[in-house]
A and B are shown apart, each in its own frame.
Chain A
Amino acid sequence: MTIHAVLGGGTLAGSAVGAHRGVDHGALVSAAVNADEAVERLYLDHWDQLVRLSVLLVRDQGQAEEIVQDSFVELHRRWSRLEDPDRALPYLRQTVVNRSRSALRHRRVVRRHLARQHGEETAPGADESVLAETRRRWVLDALQQLPGRQREVLALRYFLDMSEAEIAQTLGVSKGAVKSHASRGAAALRTLLDERDPGGGER
C-alpha cells in the first residue's frame, strides 16, 4: 500500500479519477485559480448540456434550469472541499442527477393533484401526424414512465455518452447494475414508444 500526499500547487499528475472523454475539461478547470473562475468555465462548457440532461430526467425545462443552477451554486459552495478539480464535472453531473431525482417526487405530487382536478391527459390519436415536437414529447413522456434508475442510466449512457464505469461511479451502483438498468430501460422505452407509435414510425 502506498499513499502519496501531494500538498499544494496545481499539479495533479497521477490522478486517475474523473477522467472523461473529449475535451480535457479537467485541465481547464485545474488551471482555474478559484471557485468563481472554475464555475464560470464549467458553465460556459456545460450549462446547455447539463440543462438538457436534466430535461431528460425531469421533463420540464424551467425546473431543469433551476436544478442545474442550484448545482453550480452547490459546486461553488463546496469548491474548497473538493479534493481534486478534475472531480468538478463529475460532481456537477452527479448533483444534477441527484437533484433531478429529488425534484421529480415533488412534481409527481403536483401532477397527481392536477390530474384529479382536470382528468387524465387525453392520448393523441393514432393518426396524429408525427411532427418532431410530438415525437420529442413522446420520448420525454416515455422516459418519465421508466423507473428512476433506468431513466438516469439511459440519459447518462446515451445522451452524455458516459461509460458504464463512469455511470456506476456517478450513481453509486455497480457496473452490473448499470448494465442491467440500461438493458431493462432500453427494452421498456422501446415498448412505451411502440405503444405510442404502433405503426413502427421510423423517422
Chain B
Amino acid sequence: MSHGPDEARLREILSDAVADVTPQDRLGEIRRRTSHASRPHRPWVLVVLGAGTATAAVVATGVLAGRVGLTEGDRADRTPAASPAPSDTQAAALYFVGATPAGARLFREFQGVPIAADDSALALDALQRLEADAGPDDPDYRTLWPDGAFTDVTVGDDWISVEVSAAALEPAADSGRADAVLGVQQAVYTAEAAAGSSLPIAFEHEDAPVRTILGVEVEQLVPRMPGLRAPVSISDPTEGLVADDALVARGTVGPVADRTPGEVSWELRGSDGAVVASGTAPVDERSWDTGAIDLSDLAPGRYVLSAQVTSDTDDLVAADTRTITVR
C-alpha cells in the first residue's frame, strides 16, 4: 500500500474485503413479504426525450409531476422540465439564498434527483443538495449549509425529523444571524417541499433535539417562516438549459410590500447585452408563465433570461435570472 492503491489495486482490495461474505438465502422471506402485495400488471408507459436535450416546454412526465412535493403555497406553480429529464429522475424543489434589493431572500431552484424510495429519502437527498459541496446550479445563489450537514430524515405524521451533523450546529463562516435564520428556513422550505406537506422540522443531533442550528437558536419544532420567498423567482428554465427553437419561462412571485405583483416583466439578452426578446407575463395565483418564446431566429449562443417585478412606483424591486444556451 505504500505506493497507494491504483485502480486495479482498489478493485482487488474492495472485492477481497467482501470475498468471504456468503449471504444467507432470503428469497423465501422476500416472497412471504411480497405475496400479498402483488398488483395487477399495468402496461409500461415510456416517455423518450429526443436528442438528449430538452426545451423548457418539455411536458413533465407523470413521475416528475407526481413526485414534486409542493407545499400549499406552491401548488399553483407547475413542475418545471428538468434539463435534460431522463425518466429515472424526479424534480426536487430546493431553496437557496439570493440577493434582492430588499435583502437576502429564498429562491427556489428545481434539480433532477434520482427517484427516491419514499418521502424521507427524497427529503434527505434534497437537503443534502443544500450542502456546500453540492449547492445551487445558479451562480447567483448561495447556501448556508456546510458539507455533510444532513445525515438522516424521517417524515412523520406531525413533523419532519432532520438529523444533522456537528458541523451544522456552528455558525457558517462570514454570516450573521439573519443569514443563519435564512439558512434554517432553507432546510424547512426544502424538507416541506419534499414531504409534500406543511410540517414543522425537528432538528436532531445524535438522536437528541438540538436548539442551535447554524449558530442560531431554534424552537424544538421549527415552522416555515412566511415572507422569505424572493419577490420573483424563475422555476423554469433551469440554469444552463439547452434550448432549440422555443422556450417557455415560468415561475412564482412573492409579496411586494404586502401586495402580490400583477405581472412579471421578462427579457432575454444576448452575450453582448442586447435585448433580443421581452414581454410581460400575467400573474395568476402567484404563478406566471411567459407562453412560448420563439428562439428560432436567434443565433446560437448563450443568453440570459431575466424576470423582474416592479413596485407601484416603478422602482425595480427584484429580479431573477437564468443563463440558457440556444443551439
Contacts and interface: CB of A to CB of B under 8 A. Distances in A.
Contact of A43 (B24, B27, B87): B27
A161 B11 contact: yes
B178 interface: no
B146 to A, nearest CB: 12
Contacts of A79: 39
B257 interface: no
A119 interface: no
Interface in B13-29: 13-27, 29
Contact of A61 (B13, B23, B152): B23
B117 A95 contact: yes
B2 A194 contact: yes
A160 to B, nearest CB: 9
B63 to A, nearest CB: 6
A68 B25 CA distance: 12
A15 B24 contact: no
Interface string B29-49: 111011001110111111111
Nearest to A52: B18
Given A35-B34, A61-B21, A154-B10, A194 B1 contact: yes
Interface core residue of B17, B25, B88, B114 (most chain A CB under 10 Å): B17
A15 B46 contact: yes
A159 B2 CA distance: 21
A89 B49 CA distance: 21
A36 interface: yes
A139 B14 contact: yes
Interface stretch (B51-59, B209-217, B231-239, B309-317): B51-59
A14 B38 contact: no
B29 A69 contact: yes
B69 to A, nearest CB: 16
Nearest to B56: A1
B46 A12 contact: yes
Contacts of B114: 94, 169-172
B5 A4 contact: no
Main secondary structure of the interface of A (DSSP, over half): helix
A170 B189 CA distance: 25
A3 B88 contact: no
B47 A47 contact: no
B54 A1 contact: yes
A43 B115 CA distance: 21
B218 interface: no
B103 to A, nearest CB: 31
A47 B26 contact: yes
Interface in A106-160: 109, 112, 132-133, 135-136, 139-140, 143, 147-148, 154-155, 157-159
B116 A3 contact: no
A26 interface: no
B244 interface: yes
B44 A10 contact: yes
A177 B47 contact: no
Contacts of B14: 56, 139, 154-155, 158-159
B18 A55 contact: yes
B11 A12 contact: no
A109 B47 contact: no
B38 A158 contact: no
Contacts of A164: none
Contacts of B37: 73, 76-77
23 contacts: A1-B55, A3-B58, A10-B44, A14-B48, A35-B38, A35-B41, A48-B22, A52-B21, A56-B14, A61-B23, A69-B33, A94-B114, A94-B115, A136-B19, A139-B14, A148-B148, A158-B15, A169-B86, A173-B134, A177-B134, A189-B13, A190-B5, A194-B2
10 smallest A-B Cβ distances: which pairs?
A200-B2, A2-B50, A51-B23, A8-B43, A52-B18, A139-B17, A76-B34, A158-B10, A190-B4, A159-B14
Interface of B: 1-5, 7, 10-11, 13-27, 29-31, 33-34, 37-39, 41-51, 54-55, 57-59, 61, 63, 86-89, 112-117, 121, 124-125, 129, 133-134, 148, 151-152, 163, 206-207, 244, 246
